[in-house]
A and B are shown apart, each in its own frame.
Chain A
Amino acid sequence: MKIGLEVHVALPTRSKLFCSCSTEAAEPNSSICPICMGFPGSKPMLNRGAVEAAMGIANALHCPINRGISFVRKVYFYPDLPKSYQITQMEGAVGSNGYLAIGEKRIRIRRVQIEEDPAQIIRDGALTLIDFNRSGTPLVEIVTEPDISSEEEMRSFISSLRSMLYYLGVDINKEIKADVNISMAETRVEVKNVTGIKNMIETLRFEIERQTELIRAGEEIARETRGYNEKSKSTQTLREKESDEEYGYVFEPDLTVFDIAELKFNEPVYANDVAVGLANGTDVSPRTVSEIIMLDRDSLRQIERLRGRHSLRSIIHGIERYKKYGRAGRVADKVLDNIVLLIEEGKEVPKEAIVDLESGKEARVEYSQLSDEQLDELINKYLEENPALVREYVKQPKTINLIIENIARGNGLHPKEVARKLMPILAKVAEGK
């Protein structure tokens, strides 16, 4: 089985691909101008930011970066296309001949191209309404070779791709659109415009079943374009396969060859590889790490920040609890530090504790209870064993915090409790020095 994908995602720019209209408008037809309306006389003006974002993606997909890029016109008539042609890319695409690794396997990337999104058609009874706000929004299309050979591979490809895109700033909450090409036998069947990952998987499942059935029955599989129906979870014939013949591509003469040698783009993060590196030498599996960091740069940052001081297992446990109980959308370093500390002390960290920490209060957790005598003994013993820290304290009174932390952590004690007893003792010891 051969599966190829043509994945479309919106590039993260504030303005449109060929004009300065905003990409974030609510009121229909409020973010439009002569350029994105295709008015006679208007010309496209290429958005550098979109090119840079697409270059970052092409680079992450291991495409050799071309020096110059160019555009073509793809001509077809549909009410959502104001110029009756879409400006897209072919030979002069931002990237080509790359790959994305899924485990040991490489899925080859044929092309990474920039193109403009058409307007949005809204059906309202017998009326067809057009909202041009979307017209000219920058998209990147990633075309793979038919190297994917199972549902499992398609899942890991999409998940790696999504993670890579996420780390390059692509908003993954905006839906991914894809054309899915599936050939069980010789004939290629294309399912157009499948929206969302769930539907992509459903499309594949349906087509595998449908084509297998046809093969079993000795029937021929038609070379055609199909559409996916979300309600019936099935695909239907849209039209006979149209060829490039009808699009009549020509070079877009208004943009010429755009030199991209000077443009800057971000370096990629491959979460799976990063996870392997982080998990190396720990008792945590790379898979666990990758699940956490795949679509969460904040968690990756926290792991990297705390890695030298705490065990990976505690950090991940802390992040999970924080994400589960904390206020959504923000991770405060200090709160997480405390959560991880508590975990390392062997404490369970309940929801209340996290709520406390987030509001700057002390966490409600259980501490060992010692008598004053036991506590004094413990402190004195620690100070005897660590004369260097005491000397350090004399020079640098701030060192007291470290001493408190160490004693509290090592014995499951409340830091305040330790501090109360430690201060007079330390003062006396210091005086003697």
Chain B
Amino acid sequence: MIWNEKMECMSNDEKAALQSERLVKLVKYVYDNVEFYRNKMDKCGVKPEDIHGIEDITKLPYTTKDDLRDTYPFGLFAAPHSDIVRIHASSGTTGKATVVGYTRNDIDMWSECVARCMSMADVTKDDIIQVAYGYGLFTGGLGAHYGAEKLGAMVVPMSTGNSKKLTTMMVDFGATAIACTPSYLLHLSEVLRDEGLLDKIKLKAAICGAEPWTEKMRNEIESRLNITAHDIYGLSEIMGPGVACDCREHAGLHICDDYFYPEIIDAKTLTPVADGELGELVFTTLTKEGIPLIRYRTKDLTSIIREKCACGRTSVRITRFKGRSDDMLIIRGVNVFPSQVEAALVNVEEVTPHYMMIVDRVGNLDTLEIQVEVDVKYYTDEIRGIEKLTKKIAGVIQSALGISAKIKLMGPNSLKRSEGKAVHVIDNRKLY
């Protein structure tokens, strides 16, 4: 089912005209309202008058997550605070969060995008959908919620953390759709199996996102639950979930490209690559008012498909993600940067700056172990002392990352020192 045929199936000419019109307006809007962009554009010698159409986008400078950090919290907001109706936040590369704000129009646009994505999974107003993303500063819960309401579906705002209640309600309510992370859905499938509920559920579709997953995981989810599982993509800087999603063809993710203009660039040279070639995904938010971003570097590696899809949509597609051009990890749906761990450990005087993060997936749930070396002079010969230190570090890490980690104390010099760029992560999940 196509939610908005007019916007999702327009001809290339119509789309280019719309994107051009929107880009011209956007550039003038940010130049007038965001000091950061005004300075940046002045520095590159580009004025709003130089932008006549979408083809001029390459004249504009890039935006990075660091720019959001440097202007924390509201420096990139273009709309006055009185027009902002919602704030979300995600992990920054160091201690500070990345904060985004939405106007009423932004929320409407976001809901429209999520409604389109859920329609790609054939979810309609007749469905009962459980939203099992976290509700709060994280965009997943509220983003999926508003989109599902826009669709007119019956929304059950489960949030995360109570699998038993979720599976019970799934059966009792006859839920037909679910929105959650793919690893959590795999976990739920096991809970359902163990409780003998698999043949009592009415589930037919899942909209999974917030973390990278593989085709193998999709097959596993679909066969265990006898449903179709769709890959929804998004990031809070751009909007949240709903930037793109795959249709029933599962041949790449359709971008809502009337709102988000995608480019693929070479992460090293920062020049555009040819269609079909792997590179870093860059987005320009064509209509956003709260925190519009120009050429935002997502650091996600993918390639672009421009051909019309068998489903009838003409919106540009991106292929499954092939990795990241930075060292960000997604653990239990939460963005984690090794630099956050580093910044947190600096404040713990008992440990050396050497650490190693070991990420794994046990029983479909992500695990994080952080090995730290204790400074020789802080060792104690009492178990109690060691446990106290472990607990202290675990607390520091939990508050820095927003997720819990198992802390393992190591002897002096037991963590590998590398020559050149230090390796701080061992990810055993093989997600790409």
Q: State yes or no: do A and B come from one complex.
A: no
